[in-house]
Amino acid sequence: MKAFHCEVLHTHTHTKARVTRVTTSHGDFITPVFMPVGTRAGVNNMTPAELMAAGSQIILGGNTYHMLCAPGMEVIKQAGGMHSFMGWHGPMLTDSGGFQVFSLSKNKEICVIDEEGAHFSLPGSHRLIHMTPEMSLETQKIIGADIIMAFDQCTPDQCSREEVQHIMTRTHRWLQQSVDYHQQHPTSFYGASQALFGIIQGGIYEDLRRESADFVTSMDTDGIAIGGETIGFDMAATIEVIRWVRSFLPETKPRYTMGVGMSPQDLIDVVAEGIDMFDCVAPTRNARHGALYCGEVVDEGGWLSFCSEHENARIQIKKASYAHDLSPIMDSCNCYTCAHFSRAFLHQLFKQKSNSYTALASIHNVHVLHDVCAKMRKKIIG
């Protein structure tokens, strides 16, 4: 089994952007890289073959919380891990369940977070779960992803400084517990190499973000993630946070902004700041609701920009103006959908609430983000 490794191949002359090669037990991937999200053991409306054809190198497959809910760890074990279970045999990252716990904890009757972890009951059952850092890591080792995440508490934007500091301190303690467990159990349940990433918190406070970055990088994890509700949700604040912590980020480790990818431009913006990896549910969710990415990657002042005449760089395929439009979604796009189908056809499928529409739309949106990454890699290499 290959050990996890990150090698910087190229750096951009005008920005902080870089190209790296990351080696995992299930193959290499080249950054900058977007990871489609398969929270429940499958990227919505896309098969593994379609993901690969669209340009996917690595996916976020199988969220820890959702996999505990269904189908449960026994089924995953019997299948030989998440790769075999979902039929994806390339690199895979999974997350710790921390964001889902954060969402659940908004209702104290469903989930309560304390210093030890999170207490919640699995939906549709009477089974009570006490999610600790150790349990999260154990679950991720059964899932068998190539990259696993330390258990953290996602920091809400609407939080007092005192609360943010408390969450950050708790996350640091949980990171230490995660590292200790990973050192005692360095491979997956199936004996494959796994990389552990730590997560920087600290909310919207510069000094706390820097303190968190200093602590997380001192733990010598395999990669560094930047988390919190603001990351990917508020892009101006996301860029500011990256700049606050960038000097702490090791050159030889992957850098991952969690939840970035609402629009193609978001990827371009974080890569210019030195970020390598990102994930988001938006491409498939937008596709499902009729929002299809449409624009052009253009060279602008030594770097790139995603230019579009459409609001949020998307067309709304439900609009009557597309009912007779026989052009593809994007003239320059070479995805399967644009190569074979028109806006008028997709408009018709959407109106029919056809499953075929959702699949074809998801293929396009995911392909666009991968194509943006490919163009960034080409620009960085020069």
10 Å Cβ neighbour count for 37? Answer: 23
pLDDT band at residue 113 under the 50/70/90 scheme: confident
What is residue 217's predicted lDDT score, i.e. its pLDDT?
Answer: 98
Q: Is 114 a catalytic residue?
A: no
Prediction pTM value: 0.95
Average pLDDT over residues 164-188: 97
Average pLDDT over residues 73-82: 96
Is 214 catalytic? The answer is no
Amino acid 211: pLDDT: 98
Residue 213, amino acid: A
CA distances from 236 to 24, 231, 239, 241, 326 (A): 32, 9, 5, 9, 37
Rounded to the nearest 10 degrees, the angle between the axes of helix 161-184 and helix 133-143 is 50
Confidence label for 105 from pLDDT (cuts 50, 70 and 90): low
CA 377 to CA 382: how far, in whole Å? 9
Catalytic residue among 222, 266, 269, 279, which? 279
Q: Which of 28, 95, 207, 266 is catalytic?
A: 95
Provide the residue type at 26 as one letter.
Answer: H
How many angstroms separate the CA atoms of 68 and 70, rounded? 6
Given a cut of 70, whether residue 241 has pLDDT beyond it is yes
Q: Are strands 147-149 and 296-300 parallel, antiparallel or unpaired?
A: unpaired
Indicate the pLDDT class of residue 102, thresholds 50, 70 and 90: low
